[in-house]
Amino acid sequence: MAIATVNPTTGLIEQSFEPHSGEDIERKLTQAAGAASAQRVSAFATRAAWMVRSAEILESEADAVAAILTTEMGKTLKSARAEVLKCAKNMRFYAEHAEAFLADEPLSDPSSVGASLAYARYEPLGIVLAVMPWNYPLWQVIRFAAPALMAGNVGLLKHASNVPQSALYLDTLFTRGGFPTGAFSTLLIESGAVAAVIQDSRVKAVTLTGSEPAGRSVAQTAGHSIKKAVLELGGSDPFIVMPSADIRAAAAMAATSRTGNSGQSCIAAKRFIVHTDVFDDFAGAFVEQMRALRVGDPLLDSTDVGPLATQAGRAELAELVDDALAHGATALIGGSTPDGPGWFYPPTVLTGITGSMRLHQEEAFGPVASLYRVASVDEAIEVANGTRFGLSSAVWSTNEAEQDAFSRQLDAGAVFINGMTVSYPELPFGGIKDSGYGRELAAAGIREFCNLKTIWKA
Ligand code: NAP
C-alpha cells in the first residue's frame, strides 16, 4: 500500500510520502540502539518527567493532532480529540505507576532455595518494533509506547500506510518531551519491509495490533527469530442481552459500541445475542438508536458516524453484508452502500444470520450489527464462543448467577457486565484464540517487554 494521506470524507489524496530508504532505516536503527543504552541506565524519575512533559505537549496540541486523525482516517473530530486526551492520560498513568509495576519481587523465604537473598527484577529488553493499525492512530501506539518507554525500552514504530502524518507526529513527540534521540521514532516503511526489521539483531521484540493475516506473518517471523511477540488482532465480540436487563439502556449502549469510530474498533460489539423473551423489544429499541445516528462530515460537531477509513475497507464490509443478504439475512436498517463522495456506510442491523454466511465467522469492521436469537444462557454462551475470535465480550443481565456463568464461560480476554468494552490504562487488555496473545495496559502490559531476571545469592 502506498504511504499517503487519503481523506476518507472526500476520497482525495492529500499528501504522499516516500518510504524510508535502506540508509534511513539503518540510521534509525543505529539511533535506536544508542537510545536503548541510554534508556537502560536512566532512572524511573527521569523517564517519568520526560513522559509527563510529552503528555503536556500532546495536550497542548490536541486540536491540531485531532484534525490530523480526522483527515487521515475519518473519525469524528470530537472523538479524535477524546483519543488524544486519553493518550495523555495513559502517559501520565505509566509515569506515575511504572516504578511500582516493575519493583523487585523478593522471595520472602530465600532459605527455601538455599540463598541468603533471592528476587526477580524487571529489566528492559531494548528495541521493540511496534506495527500498528490506523483505527486509533494515536491510542494504539501510545498504549504500547508509554509503558515501553517507562520500562526503559525503545520503540520503533511502523504505522499503517494510510496514517503517515499521525506517524510523523509521533516520531518526534517523545524526544520533544526529553527522551534521548532514537528512544521512539517512526519508520515510514511498507509492510513488506517489516520482516527484515524484526530479523535485525538490534531489535529484541515486536508488538502488532492489526488484522489476523498481519499477525500471522509477524508472529511467524518473530518465531523464526526467537523474539518475543505480542499480538492484538481482530475481534467479533458478543453483546449478550438477557431478560432481566434494562433493555433500553442495553440498546443505547449496543448502538454506541457498534458504531463508535464508524464501527472500526476491534472491541466493538459486533454480534448481538439476545434472549428470545426480549428479542423483539431489544431489536426495536436498537434499530431506533441506530436510526437516530447522524452520518456525515466528521468535522461537524453534530456528526455521530463519519466515513470508513478506506475504500477497500468499505468494499469488504459491503461484501460481507451482501453475502448475508444473498443467503437469507434481513436488514432491519441500512445494508447498502450509498452513492456520493467519501467512503460512508450506514448503520446496519441484520437478523437471520446463519452459519453459512461469512458475517457469522468474519469480523465486520464497520457499523454493521448481527442479531442472534437464543433461548437460554447455555445457548447464548455457545453462540458467543462459536467464532475463532476471543477478544472481549459484554453481558447484560441483573441476575448474579447468570453474570457469574457468563464471566466464567465466555472465551474472551474480558467480560464487561451491564456495560460495553472499553480499554482503560488501569485494566489489562488483550485476547485469546485468533484475537492474539499477550496483554497491554495495566501492570501486565508494561511487563510484557521486560526480562524478568532472577537474582540468587548464596
Ligand atoms: P492490518 O491491515 O493488519 O494493518 C495493521 C498494521 O500491520 C499496518 O501497519 C500494516 O501496514 C501492517 N501489516 C499488514 N500486513 C502485514 C504483514 N504481512 N507483515 C507486516 N506488517 C503488516 O490491519 P488494519 O486494517 O490496519 O486494522 C484493522 C484490524 O486491526 C482489525 O482486524 C482490528 O480488529 C484489528 N485491531 C485490533 C486491535 C486489538 O487491540 N486487538 C486494536 C485495533 C485494531 P500497511 O498499512 O502498510 O499494510
Predicted pLDDT at 251: 98
Average pLDDT over residues 6-27: 98
Q: Is 211 in the pocket of ligand 1 (CB under 6 A)?
A: yes
Q: Is 133 in the pocket of ligand 1 (CB under 6 A)?
A: yes
Q: Which residue among 3, 6, 131 is best mutated to probe the pocket of ligand 1, counting the most ligand atoms within 8 A of its Cβ?
A: 131
Residues contacting 197, CB < 8 A, separation 6+? 25, 29, 129, 156, 158, 187, 189, 203
Residues in the chain: 458
- Residue 281, pLDDT above cutoff 80: yes
Q: Which CATH superfamily is domain 237-424 in?
A: Aldehyde Dehydrogenase; Chain A, domain 2 (3.40.309.10)
Predicted pLDDT at 104: 98
For the domain spanning 3-233+435-457, the CATH number is: 3.40.605.10
Residues contacting 360, CB < 8 A, separation 6+? 353, 354, 370, 387
Q: Which residue among 163, 189, 209, 391 is best mutated to probe the pocket of ligand 1, counting the most ligand atoms within 8 A of its Cβ?
A: 209
Predicted pLDDT at 347: 98
Query: How far away, in angstroms, is 209 Cα from ligand 1 center?
Result: 6
Q: Is 20 helix (H, G, I), strand (E, B) or coil?
A: coil
Percent of the chain with pLDDT over 90: 100
Query: How far away, in angstroms, is 141 Cα from ligand 1 center?
Result: 12
Query: How far away, in angstroms, is 284 Cα from ligand 1 center?
Result: 34
Query: How far away, in angstroms, is 159 Cα from ligand 1 center?
Result: 9
Q: Is 198 helix (H, G, I), strand (E, B) or coil?
A: helix
pLDDT digits (tens, 9 = 90+) for 298-355: 999 999 999 999 999 999 999 999 999 999 999 999 999 999 999 999 999 999 999 9
Q: Is 58 in the pocket of ligand 1 (CB under 6 A)?
A: no
pLDDT digits (tens, 9 = 90+) for 47-89: 999 999 999 999 999 999 999 999 999 999 999 999 999 999 9
pLDDT digits (tens, 9 = 90+) for 231-262: 999 999 999 999 999 999 999 999 999 999 99
CA distance 306 to 313: 14
Element (H, E) at 122: strand 117-124
If one counts every other C-beta atom within 10 angstroms of the C-beta of residue 390, the result is 24
- Residue 187, pLDDT above cutoff 90: yes
Tell me which residues are annotated as active site: 232, 266
Task: Report the atom number in ligand 1 closest to the C-alpha of 194.
Answer: 20
Q: Which residue among 157, 211, 267, 388 is best mutated to probe the pocket of ligand 1, counting the most ligand atoms within 8 A of its Cβ?
A: 211
Average pLDDT over residues 189-204: 98
- Residue 1, pLDDT above cutoff 90: no
Predicted pLDDT at 427: 98
Q: Whose CA is closest to atom 42 on ligand 1?
A: 266
Task: Report the atom number in ligand 1 closest to the C-alpha of 435.
Answer: 41
Angle subtended at Cα 330 by Cα 353 and Cα 265, rounded to the nearest 5 degrees: 60
Predicted pLDDT at 144: 98
Please state whether beta strands 432-433 and 12-16 pair in parallel, antiparallel, or not at all (unpaired): unpaired
Percent of the chain with pLDDT over 70: 100
CA distance 426 to 408: 21
- Residue 17, pLDDT above cutoff 90: yes
- Residue 92, pLDDT above cutoff 80: yes
Q: Is 190 in the pocket of ligand 1 (CB under 6 A)?
A: yes
pLDDT digits (tens, 9 = 90+) for 99-148: 999 999 999 999 999 999 999 999 999 999 999 999 999 999 999 999 99
pLDDT digits (tens, 9 = 90+) for 418-455: 999 999 999 999 999 999 999 999 999 999 999 999 99
Residues contacting 441, CB < 8 A, separation 6+? 90, 143, 147, 423, 424, 425, 426, 427, 428, 429
Q: Whose CA is closest to atom 9 on ligand 1?
A: 160
Q: Which of 259, 273, 267 is nearest to 317 (CA)?
A: 259
Q: Whose CA is closest to atom 39 on ligand 1?
A: 232
Segments in 177-276 forming alpha helices (H): 194-199, 212-224, 247-259
Strand partners for 158? 131
Q: Is 233 in the pocket of ligand 1 (CB under 6 A)?
A: yes
Look-up of cell digits 501492570: 443
If one counts every other C-beta atom within 10 angstroms of the C-beta of residue 202, the result is 14
Query: How far away, in angstroms, is 210 Cα from ligand 1 center?
Result: 3
Q: Which residue among 6, 129, 141, 266 is best mutated to probe the pocket of ligand 1, counting the most ligand atoms within 8 A of its Cβ?
A: 266
Query: How far away, in angstroms, is 399 Cα from ligand 1 center?
Result: 38
Predicted pLDDT at 309: 98
Predicted pLDDT at 188: 98
Question: What are the domain boundaries of the chain?
Answer: 3-233+435-457, 237-424
What does pTM read for this prediction?
0.97
